[in-house]
Amino acid sequence: MSEITTLQPNDPLPEGHSVVLMRRFDEDHPQRVVIEMIVTNPDHSEETSAHLDWEAAVAAATERAGEEGLQRIWVVDRTAGPRAQVILAHQGDHSVGSAALDDDDIAHGEHGTDMRDRGPDGAPRRF
């Protein structure tokens, strides 16, 4: 049986061969939450599958991790952060609140990265 390790809402996904269960907002319908299983293969290719309920997702991830010989299943709930909770409380309205999101650390004179500064990092992820 694989061990389930829970990541914090904004933690990066593990690198390398892994099975990840992710709860996140749907890209096409941001008021809806989806559960995805992401399998990163040894050759760094990825497979994703959608699941309707958590129990089915955990069962599928456990089975897949067993097939892959993995001892760990990673779990991340992208909807559990403080900002995401506000969005959920407003039925998926991402425009709620007027504060712009940034990852600048002005106190230390650091400006956060801009997604346009980054390449695909070798992965076809859209999230």
Q: What per-residue confidence (pLDDT) applies to 101? A: 55
pTM here is 0.68
The pLDDT assigned to 33 comes to 86
Per DSSP (E only), the strands in 41-125 are: 46-51, 72-77
- What local confidence, expressed as pLDDT, does residue 72 receive? 96
* Residue 126 confidence (pLDDT): 56
Q: Is the CB of residue 72 less than 8 Å from the CB of residue 66?
A: no
User: How big is the CA angle at 38 (ends 79 and 34), to the nearest 5 degrees?
Assistant: 35
Which pLDDT score, from 0 to 100, does residue 6 have?
95
C-beta separation of 73 from 5 below 8 A: yes
Q: Please give the chain's pLDDT, 127 residues, in tens.
A: 789 999 999 899 999 999 999 999 888 887 788 999 999 999 999 999 999 899 999 999 999 999 999 999 999 998 888 777 777 777 767 667 655 556 666 777 777 666 556 565 566 655 5
